[in-house]
């Protein structure tokens, strides 16, 4: 086995620009900047990946298409790795909705994973649908002695941060504090998806 799982947030979407809690697939499309971010990410990779996976959301599929176009690969769609489902907060961009999301999300990072978003998912429900997809990729590809190359998984910010923190054994409370400034910038429409990504080695994720 030789390779890593590289979890990448999609490029800037129109939902990001509007500061909307756009979580229900298919969701908003990428902006022109989002497409540029995806291509820049592909060109900046230190190693040519072997495989591109993406969620069912339009913005993730479009990001994967742009990355794949630069690398001459064929992206594949996987269910289960879409964004945290926010239920009653869907498509809202008012301060009360953002605060409600942040309150629950911070509790997840403090270890209270059974707390649900209003009318939406709990942290454990996100993990229960997301982690099996990564396990499938590991077992089918990274566990193969003949496999060589990274797997890039295009997904969504809140889900990636939760899953990567849990699987890498990160102290969730300290992690949410470290990321508060970056999250604030993202909510204001400054998507850094093509430059800020989680690179998790196979032995970190599944030790």
* Catalytic (active-site) positions: 10, 83
Cα distances (Å, whole numbers) of residue 90 to 22, 68, 70, 145: 6, 30, 33, 43
Dihedral angle of Cα 122, 126, 132, 137, to the nearest 10 degrees = -170
Q: Are 85 and 94 in contact (CB under 8 A)?
A: no
Q: Is 186 exposed, middle or buried (0-12, 13-18, 19+ CB in 10 A)?
A: buried
Alpha-carbon Rg for the chain, nearest whole angstrom, is 16
**What phi, psi does 7 have (nearest 5°)?**
-90, 120
Cα 113 versus chain centre, distance: 18
Peptide bond before residue 72 is cis, with ω within 30 degrees of 0: no
């Amino acid at each position: 086995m030789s390779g890593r799982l590289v979890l990448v947030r999609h490029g800037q979407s129109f939902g990001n620009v509007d500061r909307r809690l756009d979580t229900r697939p298919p969701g908003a499309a990428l902006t022109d900047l989002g497409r540029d971010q995806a291509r820049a990410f592909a060109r900046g990779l230190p190693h040519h990946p072997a495989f591109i996976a993406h969620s069912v959301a339009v913005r993730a599929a479009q990001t994967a298409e742009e990355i794949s176009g630069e690398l001459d690969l064929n992206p594949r769609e996987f269910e289960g790795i879409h964004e945290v489902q926010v239920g009653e907060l869907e498509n809202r961009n008012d301060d009360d909705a953002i605060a409600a999301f942040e309150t629950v999300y911070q509790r997840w990072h403090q270890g209270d994973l059974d707390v649900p978003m209003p009318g939406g998912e709990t942290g454990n429900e996100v993990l229960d649908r997301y982690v099996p997809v990564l396990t499938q990729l590991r077992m089918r590809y990274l566990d193969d002695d003949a496999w060589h190359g990274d797997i890039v998984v295009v997904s969504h910010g809140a889900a990636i941060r939760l899953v990567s923190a849990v699987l890498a054994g990160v102290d969730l409370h300290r992690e949410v504090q470290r990321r508060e400034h970056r999250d604030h910038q993202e909510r204001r429409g400054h998507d850094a998806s093509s430059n800020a990504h989680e690179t998790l080695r196979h032995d970190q994720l599944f030790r």
